[in-house]
A and B are shown apart, each in its own frame.
Chain A
Amino acid sequence: MTRIYINEWPQNSPPDQAKKDNVLLVAKLMVNGALTAPFTGGVPGVEAEIVYGQTEQEKIAREMERLAHQEVPKKLKKPFLYEAAMVRESDAIVFLGNFRARFSPMDAGCGLCGGEPDCSFYYERVPHFNGVPDHTDRKRNTAIQGPLCMLRAHDLAYAVGSALWLASTHFVDAKPCYSVGLAGRNLDICMNSEVVIGILMGVASKNPYADIPNEYHLTNMTQMVDALRKIATVTRQVPNHPYTFFDPTRKTGEQEKED
């Protein structure tokens, strides 16, 4: 007989790990959903990568915090920091990228990228040889190097949508993030894609991605628990006593009489 005990607390304990294993199953199913989502012309263009485990997630969170403090515009600083905290509280992350958006456009003249009927907006701004984009030129002047084929980027959304749909079907809370995707891409997750979206997955009594209080990167539960450990450790050293023969809750004299 096998018994699997599951409890979301304490974080990263064996009972929590057993729960994370369940989430990993859903993460894999989400990739199925992502790969079979409707795409323009049915053309494959999506790659996926699952990041799972305390150390791996910590690396993503740290890159997000670096981006928050050093690179992204001011209005994204807090969202990036808060989502880094969410990365640490997640059970797994599914990354989805479109490896065609930057260097393998649809060439349909749809107008999304530049409002032109002939793809000229893209080809006037991307290095190419007779319409074959130079995918070896990977230099970036911005967080994401544009322009992109927006139809291909639109495809990525269907992959993300189907993955999210599968998560919610399995009652796993999920949140798609620019921050997580960008950090992952910088660390070579889905490395063939210029645009990557990171989907956080969490199973907990409280959806870890909703109801966010002030300064969440400093006030989340991990921070609170750590503060408690710090204070509890110091506090116990003040009312200390030789408990084997002394009980401070009883009055002096009473103790000897009763014993």
Chain B
Amino acid sequence: MAIYDGLKAANEHMLEVAKACAVSAAKAPTLTGQLDLKMEILTGEDLEPMIQVLETLGKTSAFQLHDATAFRTYKNEEVLPPVLLLGADLTKPPLWNCGACGFPTCGEYLKYVSKNKGVGIGAYGPSCLWKVIDLGIAGDYACAAAAQNRAEARILFSLGAVSMFLGRLEGCSFVLGLPIGPVGQYRWFDRLPWTKVINYEQRVMTQMAGAPNVFMAFSGGGRPILKTKPRWWEKPTFMKVEQDPAFEEAMANGQAEAYEKIMQFAGVLDFDE
């Protein structure tokens, strides 16, 4: 006989739910039948490198900082959830010659991939549409299994990408990360840890940058005022479109720093370098 701390037991159970999600993803229907899905479940300290690289990228990018903050907080609270990684090599087409990739035939596509395979902020490409869709269905099945278990979860591009860059799921061109837990409500949406990271002014600026038209006064004059404050007509603010070399440099430096971190975790560089 034993008495368990309910919340602690529930958080420990998330690993079992992660396994159920993996079962579900493996069972997911596909269109090609040739996905060759790869999966891993990361827990505890094995997530530390990913969180650190996300934090580094987060210095210049809000969406990565958003996820880094959540992971760091949950780690500090000792409720760091297990993460199911799902990945596949999406550069192997089923030879349907559908044209969706932008090449007239799969042969032309493969010729291009063999010479020009490259990487963006989170994935290698170009990818075959049908493999992209097959991996998505598998990701969705993992999410649905988490939902059926009433587990908090959110499929993450960010953590999947840094995990792939840190060498997880070798051979995959795209990796998704699905944290399962911590238990509670809205752990990955309306995130409580995020409330302390950006202030009111930054929130207003983000909203305005996302939809300047909403905050715009009469545009017929050709130079509309942006309503940045309650008495917006006094000392008016205007929007200006310009290049920003300082920000560009910060972005490049941030990415270089993240790359350096990845090399350190890979053992190629020492941590004090």
Asked if A and B bind, the verdict is yes
9 A-B pairs with the lowest CB-CB distances in the bound complex, closest first: A111-B120, A142-B99, A157-B136, A161-B140, A115-B118, A147-B102, A115-B125, A146-B102, A144-B100
Known: A148-B129, A154-B135. A125 touches B102 (CB 8 A): yes
Instruction: Please tell me if the beta carbons of A176 and B31 are within 8 angstroms of each other in the complex.
Output: yes
| Chain A interface residue number, banded | 35 or more
A183 to chain B, nearest CB (A): 13
**A195 to B157 Cα, complex, angstroms:** 22
B95 on interface, CB distance cutoff 8 Å: yes
Q: B115-148: contact bitstring with A at CB < 8 Å (1 yes, 0 no)?
A: 0111111111111011011111111110110000
Question: What are 11 of the A-B contact pairs (CB < 8 Å)?
Answer: A40-B157, A75-B95, A112-B126, A115-B116, A115-B118, A121-B102, A143-B97, A143-B99, A144-B98, A154-B136, A161-B140
Q: How many residues of B contact A (CB 8 A)?
A: 44
B171 on interface, CB distance cutoff 8 Å: no
CB nearest neighbor in B for A33: B144
Instruction: Please tell me if the beta carbons of B95 and A157 are within 8 angstroms of each other in the complex.
Output: no
Instruction: Please tell me if the beta carbons of B133 and A156 are within 8 angstroms of each other in the complex.
Output: yes
**A146 to B29 Cα, complex, angstroms:** 24
Residues of chain A in range 61-94 having any CB-CB distance to chain B below 8 Å: 72-73, 75-76
Instruction: Please tell me if the beta carbons of A146 and B31 are within 8 angstroms of each other in the complex.
Output: no
Beyond contacts A144-B98, A175-B29: 19 other A-B pairs, Cβ-Cβ < 8 A, are A110-B120, A112-B120, A113-B126, A114-B125, A116-B120, A121-B125, A141-B104, A142-B98, A144-B100, A145-B99, A148-B101, A150-B127, A153-B133, A154-B133, A158-B136, A161-B28, A161-B141, A176-B137, A195-B129
A residues whose Cβ falls under 8 Å from a Cβ of B: 37-38, 40, 72-73, 75-76, 108-118, 121, 125, 140-148, 150, 153-158, 160-162, 164-165, 174-178, 182, 194-195, 197
**Number of residue pairs spanning A and B whose beta carbons lie under 8 angstroms apart:** 169
A142 to chain B, nearest CB (A): 2
Instruction: Please tell me if the beta carbons of A111 and B130 are within 8 angstroms of each other in the complex.
Output: no
A177 to chain B, nearest CB (A): 7
Query: Which of B127, B129, B155, B157 has the largest count of A CB atoms less than 10 A from its CB?
Result: B129
**A116 to B129 Cα, complex, angstroms:** 16
Contacts of B99 in A (CB 8 A): 140-146
Contacts of B119 in A (CB 8 A): 111, 115, 117
**A197 to B31 Cα, complex, angstroms:** 9
Q: Which of B29, B97, B138 contacts A176 (CB 8 A)?
A: B29
Residues of chain B in range 77-126 having any CB-CB distance to chain A below 8 Å: 90, 95-104, 116-126
**A217 to B99 Cα, complex, angstroms:** 26
CB nearest neighbor in B for A148: B100
CB nearest neighbor in A for B32: A178
Q: Which of B98, B125, B137 contacts A143 (CB 8 A)?
A: B98
Contacts of A73 in B (CB 8 A): 95-97
B71 on interface, CB distance cutoff 8 Å: no
A200 to chain B, nearest CB (A): 11
Q: Which of B90, B100, B123, B141 contacts A195 (CB 8 A)?
A: B100
Instruction: Please tell me if the beta carbons of A112 and B154 are within 8 angstroms of each other in the complex.
Output: no
A193 to chain B, nearest CB (A): 12
CB nearest neighbor in A for B24: A165
Contacts of A115 in B (CB 8 A): 116-120, 124-126
Instruction: Please tell me if the beta carbons of B143 and A38 are within 8 angstroms of each other in the complex.
Output: yes
Residues of chain B in range 6-40 having any CB-CB distance to chain A below 8 Å: 28-29, 31
Known: A115-B119, A177-B31. A157 touches B127 (CB 8 A): no
B171 to chain A, nearest CB (A): 16
